[in-house]
Amino acid sequence: MTGFSNAGLDEIRGWMRGYVDSKKLPGALLLLALRGEIALFDAYGWRWIEADKPFERDTIVRIHSMTKPVTAVAALILLEEGALGLDDPVSRFIPSFASLTANRCGIEDRIEPVPVERPMTVRHLLTHTSGLTYGEGNLGAVARMYEERRTDFGTDDGPLSEVVDRLAEIPLLFEPGTAWNYGVSTDVLGRVVEIASGLPLDRFMQERILDPLGLADTAFHVPREKVDRFAALYQATDGGLRLLETPAGSPQAGDVITLSGGGGLVSTALDYFRFAEVLRQGGAIGGVRVLDESTVRLMTSDQLGQDLAALGQPTFNETTTAGVGFGLGVSVVLDPSRSAWRSTRGEFGWGGYASTAFWVDPAQEITAIFLTQALPSDRYPIRGELRALVADALSATVSP
């Protein structure tokens, strides 16, 4: 049977040390598992450089957009229970979404709103084909409206009910279902989960995902007694690392008003590994079932019928999107020969703004969780390099 070679694992360790020693990353952690058995679980560097606090196995980090698959699972739980359908209009849950417009000018610096011809659906939210976008980091009149009206779902943008109603007044970038664009779709999905379940998003996640799976360090905020384990946040620049947030100075170390289903969770390597293993193992782990196996197959299968490059997104972060499709909350490799990264058909995963990433390779039974706290995520080709190293480390061995 296959396994990871010791030499290959040492190469990965050296690669992580190199990023830390060159001050490109403050700290780095990789949890790498094969068939559910951990083969490598190492951390290097610092969770808080200025305080000389090391990055450790139980360090709590901002996972940013790795929140999105968790929110997708929350919605799919409700799908199984019949509380929502993939093709339900979003307006069934959020009435202000009944009269949406789209900007005829797309990403240009002017607004010409026209009524949409088709309703935005739950499926559009899960696949990022809703026409929604982000304000910060994007150009054009629509993105500027997001920033002006505080609809990027920051920690203090207001209750979800208020933020989504403000968002509904801003034109979409395109007609729902006609293109792929990364944005606040999963944040709106979080509000749908609240309405469909009758519970606040944090409580629904706690009761239906986090507590059943024993994810004790995953939440929308860091309790006071855990702040010492929380990492600082840095920005990678040409001159090195610049401190952006101390652990205690982070908004997530206090009261969080806006529950961002698209990027609001903090977590640890072991917590997120357990979540990822639930998906790899078909919806259950250790006797606890979160989703039916058929629902996990649906989630981790391409829903678009073509790759993201063909749907108007030729590049994303530090790589091209050729050969990569999208499921319900996760990217899915369609054609490894066209993908910019070493990958396997059916591999799924996602990453976060502070350069975190996870992926699951069902064919080779690999689960990988990479954590650090340096943004932006496209500063260095971390994810592609790591995938190549993991592929090289996988070597043939003889079963005893």
pLDDT digits (tens, 9 = 90+) for 220-244: 999 999 999 999 999 999 999 999 9
User: Could you report the per-residue pLDDT of 19-71, keeping only the tens digit for each?
Assistant: 999 999 999 999 999 999 999 999 999 999 999 999 999 999 999 999 999 99
Q: In the numeric block, which tokens belong to residue 75?
A: 């919605």
**Would you say 210 and 218 are in contact if contact means Cβ atoms under 8 Å apart?**
yes
Strands across the sheet containing 374-375: 240-245, 233-237, 374-375
Residue with tokens 């799976």: 213
Q: For 32, phi and psi rounded to 5 degrees?
A: -125, 125
Count Cβ atoms below 10 Å from residue 238 Cβ, excluding itself.
5
Q: What is the pLDDT of residue 315?
A: 67
User: Could you report the per-residue pLDDT of 83-116, keeping only the tens digit for each?
Assistant: 999 999 999 999 999 999 999 988 889 999 999 9
Domains of the chain, by residue range, sit at 75-197
Q: What's the average model confidence in pLDDT over 300-328?
A: 86
- What is the rounded CA–CA span in Å between residue 373 and residue 245? 10
- What is the rounded CA–CA span in Å between residue 34 and residue 191? 36
- 75-197 topology per CATH: Beta-lactamase (3.40.710)
Q: What is the pLDDT of residue 371?
A: 98
Q: What is the pLDDT of residue 312?
A: 77
Q: What is the pLDDT of residue 1?
A: 64
Reference 87, options 188, 186, 176; nearest CA is 176
Share of the chain residues as helix, strand and coil, in percent rounded to the nearest 5: 35, 20, 45
Residue with tokens 């699951």: 360
User: Could you report the per-residue pLDDT of 111-156, keeping only the tens digit for each?
Assistant: 999 999 999 999 999 999 999 999 998 999 999 999 999 999 999 9
Confidence of residue 314 (pLDDT cuts 50, 70, 90): confident
Q: What is the pLDDT of residue 399?
A: 44
Confidence of residue 341 (pLDDT cuts 50, 70, 90): confident
- What is the rounded CA–CA span in Å between residue 284 and residue 287? 7
Q: For residue 333, give the DSSP letter.
A: E
Count Cβ atoms below 10 Å from residue 156 Cβ, excluding itself.
11
